[in-house]
Amino acid sequence: MANAKKAPYPLALCVTADDFAAAAKEVLPEKAWVYVSSSAASGLSLKANLDDWSRINFRPRIMRSVSAIDTRRAILGQPGQFPFFVSAMGTLGNAHPGAEPLLARGSTRKGLHMVVSTATSKPLEEIMDAHRDEQRLLGNQSPSRLAFQLYMPVDRSKAKSLIQRVKAAGYHSLWITVDTSILGKRTADRYLQAQELLEQGARERELAAENEFGPAFGGRPVPGYLDPGLSWEDLAWIKQEWSGPIVLKGLQTVEDVKIAVEHGVQGVLLSNHGGRQIHSAPSALMTLLEIRNYYPEALEKLEIYVDGGLRDGADALKALCLGATAVGVGRPYFYAMAAYGMEGIEKCTDVLAEEVEITMKMLGVSSLDQLKPEMVNATRLLNEMWRPETVRARL
């Protein structure tokens, strides 16, 4: 279902990350657009993701030398060119025929780390091959690495088989999605399903091509694909199967971050699944503030990433000021690839990277390790942050 239309305007006119969405909407089939743009229920979770970035203000410092800027940020010990990475996104074949291998190549060219979804359109080995081939073309000079996002299937033998494939393929880290005991009610896709039922008389499943672990297209569950029985105890056998770094993806409370630390994982991704799961979820920024206030020790014990709603590279610096290691970017890359292919992937990165550099200079920092909490004013979010009756006793 990849797009067959030409983008409505030249790539040069895309000067913000938001510009790619308008171009993608013109070229994507309706079903693909609904899939990527939709959110849970009435959209409050997605709205929080987008709005909360604007509720934090910078406190710039002046008269500091910023003649040389260093935007590099390591993730799990792997150097990266920027403080943002490509978030896991499923069924990218609906955006472009090059799908995940194309995005892996583009990320590698730009020195970006990328998280590859279980719900890929192409085999995970083919995606890694594309990354390695691009590295070869670049003389192995790119710091880019591929991580793998795991949806846990009910069948543990299948889960172990998939983890072994990921390990054999050479992925650097395993990012386990923990917020999908069931798929959220994705309203726009439900309307589309109802329309199909009326027009066709029966629902037709469209499985992710070439991937036995892929879900049905859109918000349509497949029996056995997601395990509602996933628990903290499962980390024991996962660690036996996987010897590399583990990140838990989808944490939304400080209490669960504390448990993650106790279980010895290397990182957590604060995320509400792009606003696509639970209705009225907290934004990742709100959860990050909970951690800063009620369990700041976590900032020293593991790496903390955030994703959801980032549309300006400058905002990544807000998260880093508050203690995040890096920020994930999803939909903008889907839209950029859909409308412009490889050139779109590279341009999207350039847009975000330029915004990071401009903001660092105006903020008065020359490297990311100079970012501090006092460089932002998060009062508006703090005023709405959850507060336990007894701050420490409940955590």
pLDDT in tens, 222-251: 666 677 889 999 999 999 999 999 999 999
pLDDT in tens, 11-60: 999 999 999 999 999 999 988 888 888 878 788 888 888 899 999 999 99
229 is in an annotated binding site: no
Question: Is 117 annotated as ligand-binding?
Answer: yes
pLDDT band at 220, cuts 50/70/90?
low
pLDDT band for position 1 (cuts 50, 70, 90): very low
The per-residue pLDDT of the chain, averaged, comes to: 90
Decide: 348 and 111 in contact? Cβ < 8 Å: no
Confidence of residue 208 (pLDDT cuts 50, 70, 90): very low
Q: Where are the domains of the chain?
A: 11-382
User: Tell me: the pLDDT tens digits for 5-25?
Assistant: 888 999 999 999 999 999 999
> Measured between alpha carbons, how far is 207 from 333 in angstroms, rounded to an integer?
22
Structure tokens of 263?
Answer: 């279980």
199 Cβ contact partners less than 8 Å away, ≥ 6 residues apart: none
pLDDT tens for 135-161 read 999 999 999 999 999 999 999 999 999
In the residue annotation, 273 being an active-site residue is answered as: yes
Q: Which of 96, 113, 131, 273 is catalytic?
A: 273
Taking phi first (over 0 means left), then psi (-120 to 50 degrees means alpha), and beta for anything else, what does residue 376 get? beta
pLDDT digits (tens, 9 = 90+) for 83-137: 999 999 998 998 999 999 999 999 999 999 999 999 999 999 999 999 999 999 9
Euclidean distance between CA atoms 221 and 170, whole angstroms: 29
Whether residue 224 is annotated as binding a ligand: the answer is no
Q: Model-level pTM greater than 0.85?
A: yes
For domain 11-382, is the CATH number 3.20.20.70?
yes
For 15, counting Cβ atoms within 10 Å of its Cβ (0-12 exposed, 13-18 middle, 19+ buried), the class is exposed
6 is in an annotated binding site: no
Percent of the chain past pLDDT 90, that is, above it, reads 73
Calpha distance 134→126 (Å, rounded): 12
